[in-house]
Amino acid sequence: MGNRLSVLLILTASIILFPLAFSSVDGYDYFEDGDFEYSVETSTTVSIITVLEDSTTEDMIVPSTVMHDDKEYTIVSIYATFREPVRTVHIPATVEFIDVWVFTSSDLYYISVDENNKNYCSVDGVIFTKDMRTLIAYPACKEGSAYDIPKDVTTIDTGAFCRTNLVAVVMPVGLKEIRFEAFAYCENLESINGIGIANELPSSVSILDSSVFEGCKKLTNLKLPDDLKLMGDSVFAESGIERINIPSGLYTMGERVFSDCPNLKSITSDNYKYQVEEGILYDVSHNKKLMAYPAASERTELYMDENITEIEPMAFSGCSNLKKVVLPKNMAVINEDAFENCRSLEEIDLSNVSVVEYAAFRGCESLTNINFGEKITVIGLLAFCETGIEELNVPSSVSSIGLSAFNGCKNLKKVTIPENSKVEVGYTAFIKSLNLTEFTIYSPDVILNSYSLDIGTEDNPVTVTLTAPKDLFIPDLVTGDNTTLDIHILGERPYPYENLLGVLVCVLVVLFIVRMFRGV
């Protein structure tokens, strides 16, 4: 019996301890030491995954080894992000891999690498792969306003120059690829080939990844190479670009390439797939899709071609002069952000549209009247946020009004939802529409969610008169603390003055009393 009990105890202990013994090296997956948190990779190696929040080190020296539980580990990878107040970083010989977005500190002015490192090197404080083919990172606070990229570089890595103060950069002849956000938000960058020379990418460049020049507000022009094959999403978004030509060899172009470019006046094209008509860029490879409208165009009215089947997201974003748009009759969906911040837009007919997606008309402050048809089914979140709409009549065909769909519509005073409607009103659908005081619902099947009718703010509390059927379900939290509902039930009148039956009863009572007095 004793032997059996011993065996049972051993088996039980093994079952309990087995996961602990083998779940990770020495029972640990992560540990902290000095400025860093480490992740155990093998029995002898670790990665740096975090710079600890309480670290105040400015000159960061990454160690080659670290001790933990009386055991030495070699540091082989860096995934952590070096943020402020880091000013310098030294990489040891042992590091084999450095993730993207590691060197993001806005105070960083110098990166050094041990000369014995087999994977990386540093030249004048800029870090490259050992073969000098890929430029990894240029310190954001590095001295100087101009930089010549070394001649052997073929790839500029993700975020390599992001948010630096460079005014001018010279790219090498053999450059092939510029990766995601490589020059994003370089707000002073105005020259690609040097001051006084026309901006032109090297003819060898074939790939511009997403957001490469996003936010480069002083970059006003750039000649793209004829053999450029790919342009990712938002390549020139929020930039100062004024004129652009689409090269003949371009095979793939992403969305939002020219979104929020307030100075864009002219788009031209030599491409068979991406064509320009009257200054507007279209993708004609399958159906006709409107990709980009130049935001600084002086045109005030646009009658869209009936062959257009789709408007790309942000295609009209930031248009300054456009007042009237006539959509094709077969246009069923308005994509996200399509007309965002078209502040002069006054008139657009949505009678054939069934879906208005996320923020499609956000910021269209001159749009005071919205003509919905009976085909509309979905009003997406933030769809008409901060528009000039004054009165909203929700068609019975609408099935949902998204979160904050009419957020901040300062002129909106009245909303009406008709009989037979089964619309679901989303969370904070009308928040900050501070002049909205009249809300009428005729259908008991309308679905109100928490905070659907939350409108007021702490500084501007609001009282709303809600007129609705008695069997409409109104959640307890349909408003927040800054919105008061004055609820009126449809069909009911204050007794007895406005109720016909009440008036009749009163008359009969009065006649009865008079008759009694006469009898006396």
Looking at residue 193, its pLDDT comes to 82
Mean pLDDT for the stretch of residues 76-95: 97
Regarding the domain delimited by 21-117, which CATH topology (the fold level of the hierarchy) does it fall under? 3.80.10
Q: Are 427 and 452 in contact (CB under 8 A)?
A: yes
Mean pLDDT for the stretch of residues 198-215: 96
Mean pLDDT of the chain: 91
Looking at residue 198, its pLDDT comes to 81
Q: Enumerate the domain spans of the chain.
A: 21-117, 144-297
What does residue 148 show for φ and ψ, rounded to 5 degrees? -100, 115
Mean pLDDT for the stretch of residues 6-29: 45
Mean pLDDT for the stretch of residues 259-278: 97
- Under the banding of pLDDT at 50, 70 and 90, the label for residue 264 is very high
Q: Are 327 and 348 in contact (CB under 8 A)?
A: yes
Please count the other Cβ atoms lying within 10 Å of the Cβ belonging to residue 370. Answer: 23
Structure token digits, residue 206: 């074939």
Q: Are 239 and 216 in contact (CB under 8 A)?
A: yes
Q: Are 475 and 450 in contact (CB under 8 A)?
A: yes
- Under the banding of pLDDT at 50, 70 and 90, the label for residue 491 is confident
Mean pLDDT for the stretch of residues 227-252: 98
Residue 378 has pLDDT above 60, yes or no: yes
Mean pLDDT for the stretch of residues 162-169: 97
Same fold, 21-117 and 144-297: yes
Please count the other Cβ atoms lying within 10 Å of the Cβ belonging to residue 221. Answer: 15
Looking at residue 502, its pLDDT comes to 52
Residue pLDDT, tens place only, 133-164: 999 999 999 999 999 999 999 999 999 999 99
- Under the banding of pLDDT at 50, 70 and 90, the label for residue 15 is very low
User: Chain-centre distance of CA 73, in angstroms?
Assistant: 40
Percent of the chain with pLDDT over 90: 87
Please count the other Cβ atoms lying within 10 Å of the Cβ belonging to residue 482. Answer: 16
- Least confident window among 15-24, 156-165, 209-218, 272-281: 15-24
Residue 507 has pLDDT above 90, yes or no: no
Domain 144-297 listed as CATH 3.80.10.10: yes
Residue pLDDT, tens place only, 36-83: 999 999 999 999 999 999 999 999 999 999 999 999 999 999 999 999
- Under the banding of pLDDT at 50, 70 and 90, the label for residue 256 is very high
Please count the other Cβ atoms lying within 10 Å of the Cβ belonging to residue 487. Answer: 12
Could you give the 3-state DSSP secondary structure of residue 512?
helix
pTM: 0.85
- Least confident window among 236-245, 407-416, 483-492: 483-492
Q: What's the rounded Cα separation, in Å, for the pair 483 and 500?
A: 34
Residue pLDDT, tens place only, 173-183: 999 999 999 99
Number of helical H runs and strand E runs in the chain: 2, 40
